[in-house]
Amino acid sequence: MAFCAGGASRRMSSVKLRMDSSVIRTRSVAKCFLCGTVGEVFYSEMRDRSFGAPGEWNLRRCPRLACGLTWLDPQPTEEDIGKAYATYYTHDQPAPGANLFRDAVFGVWRSYLRVRYGYRQGVGPAWRAIFSPLALLHPGGPDELDSAAMYLPAPTAPARVLDVGCGSGVLLARMKALGWEASGVEVDPGGVAAALARGVTVHQGQLADAKFPAGHFDAVHSAHVIEHVYDPMSLLRECFRILKPGGTLVILTPNTWSWGHKKFGRAWLNLDPPRHLILFNAPTLRAAAEKQGFVITRLDSTARSAWVYGALSRQIARTGRGEMSELGKTANLLYGVFFQLAERVRRWFDPDAGDELLLIARKPSGSN
C-alpha cells in the first residue's frame, strides 16, 4: 500500500506541476511608468507567437503625444515570469562550426573593426584592412557591423566592460578577444553555463544581485534587456552607479516607431508578449536615461538584426507563429535580407524607421 500511495502521490505531483505550468499569474498595470497617465488598449487578446507561453495579453499605449510609451497589461507576476522563458532561445546559442566562407566574412568584419574603432587585438593582421570596405556590403551596413564591438572604440588602457543580459556569452567572448576585461550578468542558468564554457566571467541573476562596486566599469552594454524588466529606472540607476565618471552606457531595445511595426502591426515580432513588458520610442528612452543623470551622446534607430525581425514578423502575419527555426528556410532568409536592405534605405529619409533604438550615453565626469 505504501508503494501504491507513493506512486499516486508522485502522479498527483506531476499533474499539479503540469497544471501550474499551464497558467501564468498576472497583475494589472494600467498607468505609464514615466508620466502616470492611464494607457489606452493598443492591442488585445494576444498570445505568445514564438515560445508557447500560456495566456492572453494586451498592450497599452500612453495617449500623451509627448510620451507614447507602450507596455504589457496584464503582466506576469515576478513569481511566474520564468514560465514565459521555459523554452527561450538564450538557453544555448552554439558557436558556428568551421566554414571557409563564414570565416572569410568574419575576417573582413574584424578588419572593419580595426579601421572603424582602432582595434589592434583580435582583428587579424594589419594588411587585411584593405578588405575592410567589403564589410559595408552587409545588408545592415554600419548598424550591424558596429554592434560587433558594442559600438565602443578600442580602449587605450586596460578597461572593463559589462554586458547586462549576456545570454550565452557570444558577444562577451568577442569583446574579451578584442582586449577588454569583459564580464556579464545573465538570469538564465542555461545561458550562464554556455557563457562560462566560452571562458568569460558571468554572474547569474539580476544586475543588482552582482553587487558590483560603484564606479567599477568603463562601459556597460545591454542589448534587448530593458524591455524585459519590471523597473527600467532601477536598471538604469544601477548602470549609472557602477559606471566610472565619464563611462559609457550602450542600450539597444525595440523601437515602437519603426517601419517594421508600422508594416506588420500586431504581427511585429518585437511586441513579443508576454516577455516584453515595456516598449520604448526615442523620446521615452531619452527621458528614462536622462532622469537617471545620463548625458545622451547618440540616440537613433538602427537596422541591426532587421532581417530577423522582418522574416519572423512576416511568418507571424501569415501563420500566427514566428519561431527561430524558421530563419533557416531559404525563402525566409531572402525575405529578411531584402527587408533589412529596405529598412537601411528608409532610414536615410526617416531616422525613426529602424526596428531597434540605439542609445549611447555618458556618465558625467565628477558624478558619484
- What whole-number distance in Å separates Cα of residue 341 and Cα of residue 195? 31
Query: Which DSSP helix (H) or strand (E) runs through 46?
Result: strand 40-46
In a 3-state reduction of DSSP, which class is residue 53?
A: coil
The reported pLDDT for the residue numbered 196 is 93
Please check whether residue 244 is in contact with residue 187, taking contact to mean a CB–CB distance below 8 angstroms. Answer: no
CA distances from 349 to 137, 163, 296, 345, 346 (A): 20, 32, 22, 8, 6
Walk me through the domains of the chain, giving residue ranges and CATH numbers.
140-362 (3.40.50.150)
Interacting residues of 299 by C-beta distance below 8 A, sequence separation 6+ = 282, 285, 286, 357, 358, 359, 360
Please check whether residue 240 is in contact with residue 266, taking contact to mean a CB–CB distance below 8 angstroms. Answer: no
Q: For strands 57-61 and 70-72, give the pairing.
A: antiparallel
- C-alpha closest to that of 257 among 345, 347, 341, 352: 352
| Helix residue ranges, H only, 82-133 | 100-117
- C-alpha closest to that of 91 among 225, 221, 193: 193
Cα Rg, the chain, nearest whole Å? 21
Q: Which residues in the chain land under pLDDT 50?
A: 1-19, 91
Please write the tens of the pLDDT for every residue from 228-257. Answer: 999 999 999 999 999 999 999 999 999 999
The reported pLDDT for the residue numbered 175 is 97
Q: Which residue has the cell 564606479?
A: 215
The reported pLDDT for the residue numbered 6 is 38
The reported pLDDT for the residue numbered 13 is 36
The one-letter amino acid at 174: R
Query: Which DSSP helix (H) or strand (E) runs through 340?
Result: helix 330-349
Please check whether residue 328 is in contact with residue 261, taking contact to mean a CB–CB distance below 8 angstroms. Answer: no
Please check whether residue 359 is in contact with residue 227, taking contact to mean a CB–CB distance below 8 angstroms. Answer: no
The reported pLDDT for the residue numbered 106 is 84
Please check whether residue 233 is in contact with residue 227, taking contact to mean a CB–CB distance below 8 angstroms. Answer: no
- What whole-number distance in Å separates Cα of residue 103 and Cα of residue 98? 7
Q: What percent of the chain has pLDDT over 70?
A: 90
Please check whether residue 311 is in contact with residue 343, taking contact to mean a CB–CB distance below 8 angstroms. Answer: no
